[in-house]
């Protein structure tokens, strides 16, 4: 009996020893505190966290570079208030007489990125844009000007802003004084360039198609 009990005790001791040895490193691993890397000299810990997170750090850096308070919501060029939140190539189209194609040419002549935001431009860049717009004829080919061989001066000009609206009104008034066909059509408020007027362009007290009312005795006579 004593021999059997001794064998059982030895087996129990043999199984307990490896189990305790395996549990010891696990407990030590759990109890050990996590080591945090110290930031190097001259490097902020917030920058490291942003770099680890990826896109969030980049967005924060971009926000620091371009704060919203520094943007100019209105930029004045050629006596016109331009939207500072738009890109340069689209903001310049706010000037009457300048389209997207011309705005790209002007921005490149002024050495300004056409895809940059208008409100974030430096004062020097805005001044360069003003000079290019004022000297429009010298920065754009002749065939892109909107008033070649002016009636009064004979020069090649490009009208923008208020000058363009005044120039158009002067031309219309000149045609009215000459009593030309186009001038008379302008006076009457009708279409000028040969469009049809039978079905479209009706103004004033015009009446559409009206059906004639049948006489009361006509139906009885037809039945007979």
What SS3 class is residue 156? coil
When the pLDDT of each residue in the chain is averaged and rounded to a whole number, the result is: 77
pLDDT of residue 7: 54
pLDDT at 104 exceeding the cut of 90: yes
Q: Please tell me the pTM assigned to this model.
A: 0.55
* CATH number of the structural domain spanning residue 118: 1.10.8.50
pLDDT of residue 184: 96
**The total number of structural domains that make up the chain:** 1
Q: Is residue 126 part of a domain?
A: yes
**Measured between alpha carbons, how far is 146 from 168 in angstroms, rounded to an integer?**
11
pLDDT of residue 69: 66
What string of H, E and C letters represents the secondary structure of the chain? CHHHHHHHHHHHHHHHHHHHHHHHHHHHHHHCCCCCCCCCCCCCHHHHHHHHHCHHHHHHHHHHHCCHHHCCCEEEECCEEEECCCEHHHHHHHCCCCCHHHHHHHHHHCCCCCCCEHHHCCHHHHHHHHHHHHCHHHHCCHHHCCECCCCCCCCCECCCCHHHHHHHHHHHHHHHHHCCHHHHHHHHCCCCCCCCCCCCCCCCCCCCCCCCCCCHHHHHHHHC
Q: Is residue 109 part of a domain?
A: yes
pLDDT at 96 exceeding the cut of 70: yes
Q: Is residue 93 part of a domain?
A: yes
**Measured between alpha carbons, how far is 153 from 202 in angstroms, rounded to an integer?**
38
Q: Is residue 50 part of a domain?
A: no
Non-local (6+) Cβ contacts of 184 within 8 A are 176
pLDDT at 105 exceeding the cut of 80: yes
**Measured between alpha carbons, how far is 77 from 135 in angstroms, rounded to an integer?**
13
pLDDT of residue 89: 93
- Give the whole-number percent of the chain exceeding pLDDT 70: 63
Of the pLDDT bands very low, low, confident and very high (cuts 50, 70, 90), residue 127 is very high
Q: Which residue has the higher pLDDT, 95 or 9?
A: 95
pLDDT at 18 exceeding the cut of 90: no
**Measured between alpha carbons, how far is 139 from 1 in angstroms, rounded to an integer?**
115
Domain of 73 in residue numbering reads as 68-142
Q: Is residue 26 part of a domain?
A: no
pLDDT of residue 159: 92
User: Residue range 156-160: average pLDDT?
Assistant: 91
pLDDT of residue 67: 54
Q: Is residue 8 part of a domain?
A: no
**Measured between alpha carbons, how far is 160 from 153 in angstroms, rounded to an integer?**
17
pLDDT of residue 38: 56
- Please name which of 157, 143, 108, 115 lies closest in space to residue 129, comparing C-alpha atoms: 108
Q: Is residue 158 part of a domain?
A: no
Residue 50 token pair: 């942003």
Q: Is residue 179 part of a domain?
A: no
């Amino acid at each position: 009996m004593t021999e059997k009990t001794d064998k059982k005790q030895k087996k129990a001791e043999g199984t307990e020893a490896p189990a305790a040895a395996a549990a010891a490193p696990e407990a030590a691993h759990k109890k050990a505190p996590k080591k945090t890397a110290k930031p190097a000299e001259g490097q902020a810990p917030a920058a490291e966290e942003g770099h680890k997170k990826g896109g969030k750090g980049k967005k924060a850096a971009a926000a620091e570079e371009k704060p919203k308070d520094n943007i100019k919501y209105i930029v004045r060029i050629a006596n016109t208030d331009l939207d500072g939140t738009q890109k340069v190539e689209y903001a310049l189209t706010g000037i009457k007489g300048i389209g997207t194609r011309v705005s790209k040419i002007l921005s490149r002549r002024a050495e300004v990125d056409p895809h940059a935001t208008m409100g974030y431009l430096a004062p020097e860049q805005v001044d360069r844009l003003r000079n290019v717009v004022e000297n429009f004829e010298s920065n754009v080919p002749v065939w892109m000007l909107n008033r070649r061989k002016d009636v009064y001066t004979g020069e090649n000009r490009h009208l923008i802003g208020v000058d363009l609206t005044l120039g158009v009104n002067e031309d219309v008034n000149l045609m009215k004084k000459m009593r030309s066909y186009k001038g008379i059509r302008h006076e009457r408020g009708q279409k000028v360039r040969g469009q049809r007027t039978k079905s479209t362009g009706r103004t004033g007290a015009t009446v559409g198609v009206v059906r004639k009312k049948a006489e009361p005795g006509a139906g009885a006579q037809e039945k007979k």
